[in-house]
Chains A and B, each alone.
Chain A
């Protein structure tokens, strides 16, 4: 296969600049010493990073997002792994319907999910509670875990399980010692993608938070729609740093492209 020519390399450069531009701008603005948004910044100052410490609502929101992401991704993993094992291992009556149901949050517009959760939770009096938020996030992120675990299950060698069973291992032992280690890359990749999705989620969350459970994206969103000061940029810069660290970690562990395409680990 031929390598990329000069035109292709130029295209790639412009494209990379387009993708990185808005992100670089946010990080640059965060370092401004001024009280307004300017780019490039007239100097380098940590003023607006220090300002984060004076605005504890952003730190509280970041903690809530972190806890929410971990809890929702874990609940969704515990529910999705058995379902993926069932769906991934051959046909049974209702299998396609089950799979379509568990993947359906990807098909329904998020704003529709948001109002549906709001309507339901407010009738139960659970609107704005952490538990309500966590369960709704678990539903939104289940498809991501399911897809990756399904891909791992498809590559599973059943004969190893059969061997364990014929040697007298009990079902739970087979799962713990044979099945789980084999699908673990898919489970971990799914958990991480689910965590990041939950951590970034805005459209559904904005409907079902209250002031005490406001997540970081919602806090940033409501701040941006009212005023734009360099504080949102510095908070965003910290969020970008956190995401980039996660991204590199995910890429080393699993491969960013395969994780997002939803393929199993080769």
Chain B
């Protein structure tokens, strides 16, 4: 090994030790745990089998939970892209003063605890919540629309939690483009809509794609929002794992569900990356 490589490894050693001991080993142990048996009286067994995976993959109850989780993540991603792209473009065109104010408003909530933001949605969406009360008061509806404990309510709150990631990714892509191209299109007589769809959007695509990946994977494994707004009635994978670990105490089954979540998120990420590289490889160069 060259002197430089030795030095680099020495500099990385402290972090490497922490990550090896407290990240790689625990993940490996959890992987092994997912093959252990569980007995309500005897606790976690030391035998290895595929029984937990067979239980999850053979039960329509779990299919429903996985299906719901990925559907929620997919719809959240689509909505984030649909509203995040125009917002990022608007942000990009703002004067510096307005931009710094708007950044605080639309990106700032990212730094506020997800629990606090979801509490706000719980207050808004309840049967006696702000939205239902207002709609009844102005006479649009007679009885409250049920929004708490529904997948729709979870999607709405998740969009609020995730859309800053989309805006950041698209905005970063827009900042890399050359504003002269837009000016050229304009001076050649292109209308604003044409400029947006023919010049701006194609250049923003890499940002949309990387933003979508972030939003999808975070939504698929989101915990706080579905736990507060969905409770026991609308379960997703993360809340199911939580229940298995801290309520049912069937750790091996919980570990198997978590491993399936990890595997599916990784598969989506890798195939997404591959697709993006094949179709849009040139725009990243």
Cα of A209 to Cα of B102 in the assembled complex, Å: 37
Q: Which residues of chain A have a CB within 8 Å of any CB of chain B?
A: 1-5, 8, 11-12, 15-16, 18-26, 29, 37, 39, 78-80, 82-83, 85-87, 89-90, 92-95, 98, 101-102, 104-105, 107-113, 115-120, 123, 135-136, 138-139, 142, 196, 199-200, 202-203, 206-207, 216-217, 220-221, 224-225, 228, 232-233, 236, 239-240, 243-244, 246-248, 250-251, 256-257, 260-261, 263
Does B279 lie at the interface of the complex (its beta carbon under 8 Å from any beta carbon of A)?
Answer: no
- B109 contacts which chain A residues (CB < 8 A)? 19-20, 23
Q: For B259, give the chain A residue with the smallest CB separation.
A: A112
Q: Is B12 a contact partner of A221 (Cβ separation < 8 A)?
A: no
Q: Is A207 a contact partner of B245 (Cβ separation < 8 A)?
A: yes
Cα of A197 to Cα of B168 in the assembled complex, Å: 17
Q: Is A115 a contact partner of B119 (Cβ separation < 8 A)?
A: no
Q: Is B19 a contact partner of A202 (Cβ separation < 8 A)?
A: no
- B255 contacts which chain A residues (CB < 8 A)? 115, 119
Q: Is A92 a contact partner of B19 (Cβ separation < 8 A)?
A: no
Cα of A166 to Cα of B22 in the assembled complex, Å: 41
Does B112 lie at the interface of the complex (its beta carbon under 8 Å from any beta carbon of A)?
Answer: yes
Q: Is A79 a contact partner of B18 (Cβ separation < 8 A)?
A: yes
Q: 1/0 per position for B249-280, CB-CB distance to A under 8 A?
A: 00100110011011001100100000000000
Query: Which of B52-60, B120-128, B139-147 touches A?
Result: B120-128
- Interface of chain B, helix or strand or loop or mixed? helix
Cα of A194 to Cα of B248 in the assembled complex, Å: 33
Does B2 lie at the interface of the complex (its beta carbon under 8 Å from any beta carbon of A)?
Answer: yes
Q: Is B12 a contact partner of A26 (Cβ separation < 8 A)?
A: no
Q: Is B104 a contact partner of A82 (Cβ separation < 8 A)?
A: no
From residue A23, how far is it (CB to closest CB) to chain B in Å? 6
Interface size class of B (residues with CB under 8 A): 35 or more
Q: 1/0 per position for B105-120, CB-CB distance to A under 8 A?
A: 1111111111111111
With A20-B105, A251-B104 known as contacts, the answer to whether A257 contacts B168 (CB < 8 A) is yes
Residue among A15, A18, A20 with the highest chain B CB neighbour number at 10 A: A15
Q: Is B116 a contact partner of A239 (Cβ separation < 8 A)?
A: yes
In residues 193-244 of chain B, which contact A (Cβ within 8 Å)?
A: 217, 220-221, 223-224, 227-228, 231, 237-238, 241-242
Q: Is A224 a contact partner of B182 (Cβ separation < 8 A)?
A: no
Q: Is A1 a contact partner of B100 (Cβ separation < 8 A)?
A: no
Q: Is A25 a contact partner of B120 (Cβ separation < 8 A)?
A: yes
Q: Is B12 a contact partner of A86 (Cβ separation < 8 A)?
A: yes
18 A/B residue pairs, CB under 8 Å, sorted by A: A3-B93, A4-B94, A21-B120, A26-B120, A83-B16, A86-B9, A98-B16, A108-B27, A110-B221, A116-B23, A117-B26, A202-B115, A207-B246, A221-B115, A224-B119, A239-B112, A239-B113, A243-B112
From residue B185, how far is it (CB to closest CB) to chain A in Å? 11
Cα of A220 to Cα of B259 in the assembled complex, Å: 28
Q: Is A23 a contact partner of B120 (Cβ separation < 8 A)?
A: yes
Cα of A102 to Cα of B14 in the assembled complex, Å: 12
- B123 contacts which chain A residues (CB < 8 A)? 22, 25-26, 29, 37, 39, 228, 233
Q: Is B119 a contact partner of A233 (Cβ separation < 8 A)?
A: yes
Q: Is A196 a contact partner of B111 (Cβ separation < 8 A)?
A: yes
- Interface of chain A, helix or strand or loop or mixed? helix
Residue among B104, B113, B124, B192 with the highest chain A CB neighbour number at 10 A: B113
Per CB-CB distance, the 6 closest pairs between chain A and chain B, nearest first, are A22-B120, A109-B221, A120-B26, A86-B8, A116-B26, A92-B5
Q: Is A98 a contact partner of B12 (Cβ separation < 8 A)?
A: yes
Q: Is B238 a contact partner of A109 (Cβ separation < 8 A)?
A: yes
Residue among B100, B160, B220, B223 with the highest chain A CB neighbour number at 10 A: B223
Cα of A1 to Cα of B187 in the assembled complex, Å: 11
- A220 contacts which chain B residues (CB < 8 A)? 113, 115-116, 119
Q: Is A4 a contact partner of B33 (Cβ separation < 8 A)?
A: no
Q: Is B119 a contact partner of A87 (Cβ separation < 8 A)?
A: no
Does B46 lie at the interface of the complex (its beta carbon under 8 Å from any beta carbon of A)?
Answer: no
Residue among B12, B93, B94, B246 with the highest chain A CB neighbour number at 10 A: B12
Does B25 lie at the interface of the complex (its beta carbon under 8 Å from any beta carbon of A)?
Answer: yes
Partner among A1, A80, A217, A257 whose Cβ is within 8 Å of the Cβ of B115? A217
- A25 contacts which chain B residues (CB < 8 A)? 120, 123-124, 130
Partner among A95, A107, A111, A196 whose Cβ is within 8 Å of the Cβ of B238? A111
